[in-house]
Amino acid sequence: MYFCPNCSNLLLVQSDGAQQQLYCQTCPYIYPIVKTIVQRKALERKQVDDVLGGDDAWANVDQTEASCPRCEHDRAYYMQIQTRSADEPMTTFYKCCDLKCGWQWKE
């Protein structure tokens, strides 16, 4: 992608007979293409954000009686977060209290 040096808008490719050129839609800037332009840039992936706050989010939460779907342990940590619009009920997130399991689920 190339941008206009005058107004910073994206330059588009236009064929003018046998010659191609980059042009700006908002100002009169034109840049003739005289050779093949190839540029490659590796994609830099962003780190995934943990919407629940990571492991620290579970540090000070309460426990309740809830059956773990994985190990069937009868206690789980829980927290409630508003994940949808305000007129929808809150989503309850659970984490199994069994240290060997630690399974997380939501309702």
Asked whether the beta carbons of 105 and 69 are under 8 A apart, the reply is yes
pLDDT digits (tens, 9 = 90+) for 76-86: 999 998 888 98
User: Could you give phi then psi for residue 56, rounded to 5 degrees?
Assistant: -65, -25
Domains parsed from the chain with CATH numbers: 1-38 (2.20.25), 55-106 (2.20.25.10)
Record the tokens describing residue 98, joined without a space.
Answer: 């069994």
User: Could you give phi then psi for residue 58, rounded to 5 degrees?
Assistant: -90, 0
**CA distance linking residue 28 with residue 5, whole number of Å:** 11
Asked whether the beta carbons of 10 and 22 are under 8 A apart, the reply is no
pLDDT of residue 48: 76
User: Quick check: pTM over 0.75?
Assistant: no
97 is in an annotated binding site: no
The CA R_g of the chain, rounded to the nearest whole Å, is: 28
71 is in an annotated binding site: yes
Record the tokens describing residue 43, joined without a space.
Answer: 């994609």
pLDDT digits (tens, 9 = 90+) for 13-24: 988 778 889 999
